[in-house]
């Protein structure tokens, strides 16, 4: 058994195999030299120097999991049941792809001094002294990572400008009405947000926008999205989707027999939402491995395969607010608000008919917890009762 990728999805797959009774050899291959670590603290505690690292608390030796770290995988040859790596071929009987995602780079910015990404532990450690020097920083992209980094940079005392090509923050993640109230969070925190701002080029000491504006920058942090880390699979026969992701089935198996895929690198069909989902969030990397492990073991014991159809969930800490989201709002036909979006705590609920399909909660974790369970259960809701922020969500059923 070989798992490629030593992030959360890969580690949890190896652990789940052992927890569910797999007794054969398990090898976990990671491209980075570090002990496997958790990514969310990178944009918070590690970046600000309040934590030295975020290594996962897993006894790999005790579990009998062999770690091959600092070894990049360069190809897959299913006919030979072998992986190609920088250190030579690695054979497998069953393979799990858990290579995650890689950041999208800003065209033309490669090699320019002072340009940074924030995806790995090394990225965070390179950025930590930048924040400590309280530089003028330009963040390209007002998505989740951009907002979290801007929050940390302000906490460190930096002057921060965020430039976003769209008309609002989180344009690719949330509908306009839900993201609009978040615009004020930037100014309230002392961050300058420039929307409709496309980067023409980056030069030492400045970011030039396409309208001719020159924004001073001691450092530039790029947060314009991520794409599945699957380019090494070219020519392998593993089917890739429109975004370069591995196309997995409802059991998280790929188009190649004996090869499974989980986490940020794979999409899966959702019966709940009637479309294929590609989820780049921590909870997906935590939940999916249990399904993969169960199906690998079940294939050997004759158990029926387990279907993976979660309610997607993620959270973000930004500008003094705890933001949580569950579900998939693209399936909705209307939105119901709970609370004043100008205030410190509010919720948006998205419905399809009378069923809750997604929820965004700002500073209302109880709404999120109850809403997630209601989505999972497919409980009919009463929209009028749902709009009352004083009423518990679970009491707003139809």
Q: Is residue 75 part of a domain?
A: yes
Q: Is residue 261 part of a domain?
A: yes
230 and 287 share a domain? yes
285 and 356 share a domain? no
275 and 166 share a domain? no
> What CATH code is carried by the domain that includes residue 333?
3.30.390.30
334 and 388 share a domain? yes
Residues 6+ apart with CB under 8 A from 74: 84, 85, 86, 232
Q: pLDDT tens digits, the chain, 398 residues: what are they? A: 999 999 999 999 999 999 999 999 999 999 999 999 998 888 878 888 777 668 999 999 999 999 999 999 999 999 999 999 999 999 999 999 999 999 999 998 988 999 999 999 999 999 999 999 988 999 999 999 999 999 999 999 999 999 999 999 999 899 999 999 999 999 999 999 999 999 999 999 999 999 999 999 999 999 999 999 999 999 999 999 999 999 999 999 999 999 999 999 999 999 999 999 999 999 999 999 999 999 999 998 999 999 999 999 999 999 999 999 999 999 899 999 999 999 999 999 999 999 999 999 999 999 999 999 999 999 999 999 999 999 999 999 98
230 and 212 share a domain? no
What pLDDT is recorded for position 80? 97
What pLDDT is recorded for position 285? 96
What pLDDT is recorded for position 394? 96
Q: Are the C-beta atoms of residues 39 and 282 closer than 8 Å to each other?
A: yes
6 and 72 share a domain? yes
> What CATH code is carried by the domain that includes residue 71?
3.50.50.60
DSSP 179-228: HGGGHHHHHHTT-EEE-S--EEEEETTEEEETTS-EEE-SEEEE-S-EEE
Q: Is residue 153 part of a domain?
A: yes
Report which secondary-structure segment, H or E, holds 284.
helix 282-301
Domain count, the chain: 3
pTM of the model: 0.95
Q: Is residue 312 part of a domain?
A: no
Give the chain's radius of gyration (CA, Å): 22
Sign of CA dihedral 102, 119, 88, 95: negative
Question: In terms of residue numbers, what domain contains 125?
Answer: 105-222
Q: Are the C-beta atoms of residues 8 and 39 closer than 8 Å to each other?
A: yes
Residue with structure tokens 């002294």?
129
Phi, psi of 269 (to 5 degrees): -80, 130
> Pick from 252, 268, 301: which residue ends a domain?
301
77 and 178 share a domain? no
> Pick from 176, 205, 222: which residue ends a domain?
222
271 and 175 share a domain? no
What pLDDT is recorded for position 260? 98
190 and 242 share a domain? no
109 and 218 share a domain? yes
Q: Is residue 309 part of a domain?
A: no
Q: Are the C-beta atoms of residues 282 and 40 closer than 8 Å to each other?
A: yes
98 and 238 share a domain? yes
Q: Is residue 314 part of a domain?
A: no
CA distance 37 to 19: 20
Q: Is residue 257 part of a domain?
A: yes
Residue with structure tokens 């309230």?
188
What pLDDT is recorded for position 111? 85
Q: Is residue 335 part of a domain?
A: yes
> Pick from 222, 243, 276: which residue ends a domain?
222
Report which secondary-structure segment, H or E, holds 148.
helix 144-155
130 and 218 share a domain? yes
């Amino acid at each position: 058994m070989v798992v490629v990728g030593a992030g959360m999805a890969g580690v949890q797959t190896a652990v789940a195999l052992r927890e569910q009774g797999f007794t054969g050899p398990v090898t976990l291959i990671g491209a980075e030299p570090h002990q496997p670590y958790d990514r969310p603290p990178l944009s918070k505690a590690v970046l600000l120097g309040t934590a030295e690292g975020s290594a996962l608390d897993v006894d790999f030796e005790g579990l009998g999991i062999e770690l091959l770290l600092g070894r990049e995988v360069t190809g897959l040859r299913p006919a030979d049941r072998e992986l190609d790596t920088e250190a030579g071929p690695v054979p497998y009987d069953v393979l799990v792809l858990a290579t995650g995602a890689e950041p999208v780079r800003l065209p033309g910015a490669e090699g320019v001094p002072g340009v940074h990404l924030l995806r790995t532990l090394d990225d965070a450690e390179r950025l930590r002294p930048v924040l400590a020097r309280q530089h003028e920083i330009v963040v390209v992209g007002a998505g989740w990572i951009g907002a979290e980094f801007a929050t940390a940079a302000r906490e460190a005392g930096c002057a921060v400008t965020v430039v976003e090509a769209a008309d609002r923050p989180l344009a690719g993640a949330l509908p306009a009405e839900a993201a609009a109230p978040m615009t004020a969070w930037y100014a309230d925190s002392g961050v300058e947000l420039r929307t409709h701002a496309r980067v023409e080029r980056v030069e030492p000491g400045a970011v030039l926008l396409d309208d001719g504006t020159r924004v001073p920058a001691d450092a530039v942090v790029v947060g314009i999205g991520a794409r599945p880390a699957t380019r090494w699979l070219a020519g392998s026969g593993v089917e890739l989707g429109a975004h370069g992701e591995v196309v997995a089935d409802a059991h998280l198996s790929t188009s190649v027999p004996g090869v499974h895929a989980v986490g940020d690198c794979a999409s899966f069909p959702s019966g709940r939402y009637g479309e294929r989902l590609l989820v780049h969030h921590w909870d997906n990397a935590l939940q999916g491995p249990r399904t993969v492990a169960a199906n690998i073991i079940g294939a050997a014991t004759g158990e029926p395969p387990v279907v993976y159809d979660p309610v997607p969930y993620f959270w973000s800490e930004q500008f003094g607010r705890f933001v949580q989201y569950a579900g998939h709002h693209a399936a909705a036909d209307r939105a119901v608000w709970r609370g004043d979006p100008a205030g410190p705590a509010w919720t948006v609920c998205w419905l399809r008919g009378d069923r809750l399909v997604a929820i965004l909660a700002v500073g209302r974790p109880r709404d999120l917890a109850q809403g997630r369970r209601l989505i999972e259960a497919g409980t009919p809701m009463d929209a009028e009762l749902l709009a009352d922020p004083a009423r518990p969500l679970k009491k707003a059923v139809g």
